[in-house]
Structure 1
Amino acid sequence: MPRVDGGRDDQASTSAAYGFDPSTAIIPELERPAGGMVLTVHVVTVGAVDYDPAALNRLSSLVPPPASPIYGTRSWDEVFRALDLRLPPDYIAFVERYGDCEFARWLRVFDFRTLTDEQFAHVPEWMDDYRDLREDSPEDFRLAMWPEPGGFFEWGCTIDGDVMGWMTVGKPEEWPIMIVARHHDEDSPVQETMTEWLVGWASGARFGSWAFSAGSEEHPLICEAPD
């Protein structure tokens, strides 16, 4: 099984393989959004980790899951072994309810259980474009990218080329959310779970909330299975 802390045993060799010096990376100061949600705590267990489903239930009330969800067929243990990484329990609970999905025909959230062996082999390359930018302008692009130690790991993206993910620092249930935006400077990671961030987004209070509007035919606030 992968390590519980979500790390890799070969961190030093991984950094060297990507030509990256971890001492040059930054993890900006975390932010907790103002006006946070007040939720009733009701703890359940996902795998071996206690998980509060309040944010997922709140998201479901704001944006119900797809009418015909698309679910991957792999087990989570298979996913964790393929990535050598354990994913956060709120993400697991989200995907088991929503599947592979798209919000407002703008924001895609992946179900890693849908990936083939070949696709899993290429996941470490997903952020190679960022690595290229970092190599050319290290003063502007300073984030570590998974599988570099503590690096950014993508869980979704937008049709505009923005990338949503976690900074994989510490335990998976504690990973902060980070947005690598296409047309904006790097911001600070937000100390929320993915599901909490999606609730804020659907409530109009996060990056990209302008992507939908009431009555919009192009970007309605709905969740659908991808085409």
Structure 2
Amino acid sequence: MDALIGTQAPRQRLTDPAATVAALERAVPGLALLRRTVPAGIDWATVEECLTTELPSDYKLLADSYPPLAFGDFLCVGFPDPGQEQAWSEDPEELEILAEWCADAEMCVPLYPFPAPGGLLPWATSNQGDYFLWNTTGTGPDEWTVTVASRNGGWWHYNGGAVQFLADLIGGALELWELPSVQPQVQAF
């Protein structure tokens, strides 16, 4: 039987990258202590050339402002290391796993991994094997939304950007469909 995917939406979608990072800092009080004193210096042009797409501004601001992060000892958000942008962008492992998951999912509307039009592109994972993905539909990356693919087969959408999703998830504004509660603790990894 084909499954329907549920959707959650923010009260108001934040479009300013600085506002989304500020919302995440409010949801995770210790986050600001990890803020870099100078931007990371990630070569986004190389990353985006290798991926063949631009990435959302909120994610790039978070990556430039912070080291890779683990929230609540559960959700891990990685970023390219300066000088390793091409290797980070060309790592096919997550897309291969995602392709298998999409093929195995019995959805009313089929889902496909990036680079398929509107395909799903990973931006975070959990320590339990869940994936947090951009749905690359829209006129540009700042309009992309989030799709959650739980290792136990639950899929759902969030009609907001990645950083706002983190703030809403950790701040308790979302129902936890197929996910555990994520505590407002953070560490760099």
TM-score by length of 2: 0.78
Which segments of 5 or more consecutive residues in structure 1 lack a partner in the other structure? 1-26, 40-49, 213-220
Of 158, 165, 174, the match for 2:143: 174
CA contact (8 A) 2:170 2:181 kept: no
Per-residue displacement from partner, 1:120-175 (whole Å, max 9, x unpaired)?
A: 3224x41322323444x463593110112211101101101110011001210100
2:65 partner SS? helix
- Give, as a single letter, the amino acid of the residue that structure 2 aligns with 1:146: F
The structure showing larger relative contact order (alpha-carbon pairs under 8 Å, at least 6 residues apart) is 2
The aligned runs of 1:146-185 (5 Å cut-off) are 146-170=114-138, 171-185=140-154
| Paired position in structure 1 for 2:74 | 106
- Give, as a single letter, the amino acid of the residue that structure 2 aligns with 1:61: R
State the distance in 2 between where 1:197 and 1:209 align: 15
CA contact (8 A) 1:151 1:168 kept: yes
- Give, as a single letter, the amino acid of the residue that structure 2 aligns with 1:59: L
State the distance in 2 between where 1:102 and 1:74 align: 19
CA contact (8 A) 1:154 1:163 kept: yes
Cα RMSD between the aligned structures?
A: 3.0
Q: Percent identity?
A: 21
The aligned runs of 1:78-97 (5 Å cut-off) are 78-97=46-65
TM-score by length of 1: 0.66
Which segments of 5 or more consecutive residues in structure 2 lack a partner in the other structure? none
| Paired position in structure 2 for 1:32 | 9
Task: Work out the number of aligned pairs and report it.
Answer: 178
- Give, as a single letter, the amino acid of the residue that structure 2 aligns with 1:163: Y
| Paired position in structure 2 for 1:65 | 31
Of 129, 136, 140, the match for 2:97: 129
State the distance in 1 between where 2:71 and 2:91 align: 25
State the distance in 2 between where 1:38 and 1:193 align: 8
Instruction: Name the CA shift for 1:197/1:109 in 2 (closer, same or farther; >3 Å).
Output: same
